[in-house]
Amino acid sequence: MAGTKLIVVSGPPGAGKSSVAAALAERFDPGALVTGDDFFAMLRRGAVAPWLAEAGPQNLSVIEAAAAAAGRLARHCTVVYDGVVGPWFRADFDRAAGVDGLHVVLRPPLSVCLDRIRTRTGHDFTDVEAATHMWHEFAGVDDAITRTDLSAADLADWIAGRLGV
């Protein structure tokens, strides 16, 4: 979609968001990558694990802060946002960003997501039960991308082609 200034790459843990978003962000000049995990990492004492039901108000605040940062950067360049923006937070994200965003949801099969979680390095999230729960929460997204036959870079190219960016 020509003129898009914010592309949100979302999905459950292990879906490949970070790899695809990074590859997609490289397509834009000027461009930026905003990583949702960085905003959750700012939380310290009293933080609730974001996948727990009681984390709702905390998660909303973090999502709104991340979206506001992404939206502000989108005034200057094309921004790719990498993070779990579940269907339940999409309207809140868009409102806080203040710009029209294009949402892309990655949802490969559960077995692929769980295998990635079990084998990845350099990432603090390893809770298979929570990942399974979040995977199911994305079940209602009709246009989710389920492809597993492409590398992250090739999937980013495929997505860009489909979006016309």
- The CATH code of the domain that includes 11 is 3.40.50.300
pLDDT > 90 in the chain, percent: 77
Which range marks the domain in which residue 17 is found? 6-163
| pLDDT of the residue at 119 | 87
Tell me if 77 is assigned to some domain: yes
Q: Is the pLDDT of residue 1 over 50?
A: no
Question: Which residue has better confidence, 126 or 146?
Answer: 146
Phi, psi of 100 (to 5 degrees): -75, 120
Tell me if 1 is assigned to some domain: no
Flag whether the pTM goes above 0.75: yes
| pLDDT of the residue at 142 | 85
Residue 2 banded pLDDT, cuts 50, 70, 90 = very low
Element (H, E) at 10: strand 6-10
Q: What whole-number distance in Å separates Cα of residue 116 and Cα of residue 77?
A: 31
- What is the mean pLDDT of the segment spanning 31-48? 95
CA 55 to chain centre: 18
The DSSP bridge partners found for residue 6 are 79
Tell me if 110 is assigned to some domain: yes
| pLDDT of the residue at 122 | 77
- What is the mean pLDDT of the segment spanning 77-89? 94
| pLDDT of the residue at 120 | 83
| pLDDT of the residue at 123 | 77
| pLDDT of the residue at 131 | 92
Structure tokens at 118: 């079990």
Query: In terms of Cα–Cα distance, which of 67, 28, 60, 27 is closest to 43?
Result: 60
| pLDDT of the residue at 20 | 97
Tell me if 95 is assigned to some domain: yes
| Tally of structural domains, the chain | 1
* Mean pLDDT of the residues in the chain: 92
